[in-house]
Amino acid sequence: ANNPSEGVLAKRRSGATLVSYLTPALTNSGVYKGLAALKASVERWRAAPPDSDELRDLAELIRDQAEALDLDGDVPTLAAKLYEIERELI
């Protein structure tokens, strides 16, 4: 799909019909549904003051949300995974 010269050769050899010579558009995949909720919880965890009850509660919530999405790891690892998923190209 993203090699126009190969498409020209294929068309010339077999009389094929090509829809387009243009490279398909790419965009960041972003996060949605459960991943968006997990990302919001991770951001709240990062903003929480150290040694607070809220931090422990958020860590437990994040663990539960990650388990529901079949993700595992500590909060910084999950944050890195979410960033990677959000920046993937589709």
Q: State pTM to two decimals.
A: 0.68
User: For residues 60 and 74, what is the distance between their CA atoms, to the nearest angstrom?
Assistant: 11
Structure confidence at residue 52 (pLDDT): 85
Strand pairing partners for 59? none
| Nearby residues of 6 by Cβ (< 8 Å), 6 or more positions away | none
Domain boundaries along the sequence of the chain? 25-87
Per-residue model confidence as pLDDT tens for the chain (90 residues): 456 666 666 656 666 666 666 777 788 888 889 999 999 999 999 999 988 889 989 999 999 999 999 998 899 999 999 999 999 888
pLDDT tens-digit map of 35-59: 999 999 999 999 999 888 899 899 9
Structure confidence at residue 40 (pLDDT): 95
